[in-house]
Amino acid sequence: MAEEKKKSGGGKAFLRGFGLFATITGIILAAVGLALLMTDAEVESNIKYALAIAGLALAFIGAVFVLCGIKKSKAEKEEEQKPIECMYCGESNPPMSKYCRKCGKALVKKCVNCGAVLDMDAKYCNTCGVRVRKDS
């Protein structure tokens, strides 16, 4: 499960990065095309229009890629809304709960070194590798 999140996060980071690059490149192309249209440069008008339109289209496509990289998948949305079961008493708690409403024990564990949220049965931090204390 954690491996799937890493893969989807990497793909989303790629989409955001590529989208940002395409958007910036498109804006520059559109600006050059519009600047050429406004000047008396000795470039065919078809090329001026093509640069402006291609730049706008590229900027739009880049923006779509950025939005796709930001949008949460259905599985991520369901994971956030899933009740948290207490590993001590078995009580089902509302999503995003930090403490069990029945026994009061912690539902999430944080690394004392880096503050990363850990699985309750983790022995080592998956972010910094520090051994997790039993009382944390």
Q: Give the tokens for residue 124.
A: 């080592």
Sign of the Cα pseudo-torsion (125, 86, 4, 9, in order): negative
Instruction: Tell whether pTM > 0.85.
Output: no
Per residue in 39-97, pLDDT tens?
877 778 788 888 889 999 999 998 888 888 777 767 677 666 788 888 889 899 988 88
- Asked if residue 100 lies in contact with residue 88, where contact means CB atoms within 8 angstroms, the answer is yes
Instruction: Report d(CA 25, CA 60) in Å as an integer.
Output: 11
Q: For residue 84, give both structure tokens.
A: 């948290």
CA distance between the termini of the chain: 24
d(CA 50, CA 40) in angstroms, rounded, equals 16
Supply φ then ψ for residue 6, to 5 degrees.
Answer: -65, -45
Token pair, residue 97, equals 């709960």
In tens, the pLDDT along 99-123 reads 899 999 888 888 888 888 887 778 8
What is the model's pLDDT at position 5? 43
Q: How many CB atoms lie within 10 A of CB 88?
A: 14
